[in-house]
Structure 1
Amino acid sequence: MKKLLTLIFCSLFVSQAFAHKPVLNENSTYPADSPYEIEEPEISKAIYSTLTGDPHYYRIQSDIDFDFYAGILAAKIGECPLEQKFSFEVLDSEFHNISLADGENFEWTPWYEEYGKQWYWNGPEIGEKFLSDRVYEAGTYYIKVFNDSNTGQYIMAVGDIEKFSFTDIVGLLFSMGDIEDEYWDPSLCSLG
């Protein structure tokens, strides 16, 4: 509970340069024909999800040009090694590749997220240091998350503008415990 109250306090009163609003995605499938909808693509979100055999697809639809940021992370549990690496592609409306963030050939590094008080494995990003470095034209885009086995837990970070409403803060009260229990469960750790 102390960790949760710290998170809420920091969300309200501290500069939120790297805080992404956590979203627990409890659906195990998001195929290309039924993707997860990312609304307001510039508003930061950390979408916690699990691949269960197929890639996940996210869709961004915007009527205006927008700053684009996306990065992928995984929960770091104690001294456990990174079990699975994840990659993602940004695709246009016809599913043609625009950018690849290759997690297999990327050196994932430990990173401590100050506001949530958790350790992560920081993977590849399209942007720099959790911030956008490009503008996408108005239109429809897809993000495809995958790895060799299409299995495992990952966190997809999108957007770089911090915006937490009162409803978001209340939602954190109910979701952060579930996220911590599911993604930082010590039983998921194999020391080799």
Structure 2
Amino acid sequence: MNQNKNKIRIVIVIIFLILVGFPLKILAHQPRLVEIEKINVTEPEISKAYYGNLSGKPHIYTISTSSPIDLYVNILVPFIEGPEKNVTVKIFKGEQPMEILNPKTNDWKKFFEPFGQSMYWKGPEFKVRADAGNYKIHVQSTEKSMRYVLATGEIEAFDGTESLRAILLIPELKKNFFEESPFSFILSPLGWGYILLLQILVILIGFVISKILNISRVKFQMKYFQFSVKNIMICGVFFWATILFFAIQTSWHPLLIMMSGLSLFIALISRRNLS
């Protein structure tokens, strides 16, 4: 009995490490939704993507560092905006101008980001070894409404909290920022890995509990119960597909995905009870 429990624990740990570790290693920017006009960039060398919407006033990003850093800045716009949009990025050290990124139509390049499964127009980049000091990045446009993405930093760093934040934010960005369905996020390693992880964990936990309670050994011999178990199995599969589809079409909330996994577990355990 103890050996079986240890095996189950080992399987859970291995699956967790594989499914979580793989997407995190290949994910690029930490996404951030910009809701104010002045943004403080912490850890400027860590790769981040700031999703903002200009409405006449510039967005100002500030960086304060007490030691030299690799300063990296890249401007992008969602594909729906088109390459003819006007957006300018001005980079300052203190009040002294360092660089101006003012891309023209031919400067924008098509760019597909595989882990959010979204298309961009990618503009010019700026990279320099910057001394300690205070820096400002102004993002502005003559357009009345202009969506943009400001990428800063090149060091990829993700932990569990950042991963969950990205998973919950990307569907919102796809729906409201890119004006596309969150469903396509399932094609991302981060998306399908997240679903697979939660579903397998729920099913494994369910089987562990059923093993402890000996639920899986219950046999339904009477025809009435056989019929009921078949209905439960069919309903389990139906609710699994329905809840999962609703989850990935809307918020990708972990509770919804785990509820669908629970429905699948009920269907599986019912199938075993029929045998």
Into which bin does the TM-score normalised by the smaller protein fall?
A: 0.7 to 0.9
**2:136 maps to which residue?**
142
**1:66 maps to which residue?**
69
Residues of 2 paired with 1:13 and 1:50: CA distance? 29
Greater shift, 168-177 or 41-50, is seen at 168-177
Q: Return the TM-score normalized by structure 1.
A: 0.77
Residues of 1 paired with 2:106 and 2:84: CA distance? 14
On the 8 A contact 1:23/1:47 being kept in 2, the answer is: yes
Residues of 2 paired with 1:181 and 1:139: CA distance? 38
On the 8 A contact 1:103/1:124 being kept in 2, the answer is: yes
**1:101 maps to which residue?**
101
| Runs of 4+, deviation exceeding 4 Å | none
Write out per-residue CA displacement over residues 20-68 of structure 1, whole angstroms, 9 at most, x where no aligned residue.
Answer: 11111123xx2xxxx2100011000000001111111100000110001
Residues of 2 paired with 1:24 and 1:86: CA distance? 18
- Secondary structure of the 2:107 match is coil
Quote how far apart the aligned CAs of 1:13 are: 4.0
Quote how far apart the aligned CAs of 1:165 are: 1.3
Quote how far apart the aligned CAs of 1:9 are: 6.9
On the 8 A contact 1:23/1:45 being kept in 2, the answer is: yes
**2:59 maps to which residue?**
56
User: What pairs with 1:168-179 in structure 2 (closer than 5 Å)?
Assistant: 168-179=162-173
On the 8 A contact 1:106/1:124 being kept in 2, the answer is: no
**1:5 maps to which residue?**
none
Q: Does 1:89 align with 2:90?
A: yes
Alpha carbons of 1:88 and 1:170: their partners in 2 closer, same or farther (altered >3 Å)? same
On the 8 A contact 2:60/2:138 being kept in 1, the answer is: yes
Residues of 1 paired with 2:70 and 2:25: CA distance? 25
**2:32 maps to which residue?**
23
Greater shift, 64-73 or 170-179, is seen at 170-179
On the 8 A contact 2:82/2:121 being kept in 1, the answer is: no
Residues of 2 paired with 1:120 and 1:107: CA distance? 13
Residues of 2 paired with 1:86 and 1:164: CA distance? 29
Write out per-residue CA displacement over residues 121-170 of structure 1, whole angstroms, 9 at most, x where no aligned residue.
Answer: 0012103xxxxxx2100010000011223631000000000001110011
The percent identity for this pair of structures is: 29
Q: Does 1:12 align with 2:24?
A: yes
On the 8 A contact 1:90/1:99 being kept in 2, the answer is: yes
Residues of 1 paired with 2:90 and 2:35: CA distance? 22
The answer for unaligned runs of 5 or more in structure 1 is 1-7, 128-133, 187-192
Residues of 1 paired with 2:173 and 2:21: CA distance? 18
Structure with the larger strand share: 1
Residues of 2 paired with 1:76 and 1:51: CA distance? 16
Count the aligned residue pairs.
161
Question: Once superposed, what is the RMSD of the aligned Cα atoms?
Answer: 2.0
The answer for unaligned runs of 5 or more in structure 2 is 1-19, 181-275
Alpha carbons of 1:183 and 1:83: their partners in 2 closer, same or farther (altered >3 Å)? farther
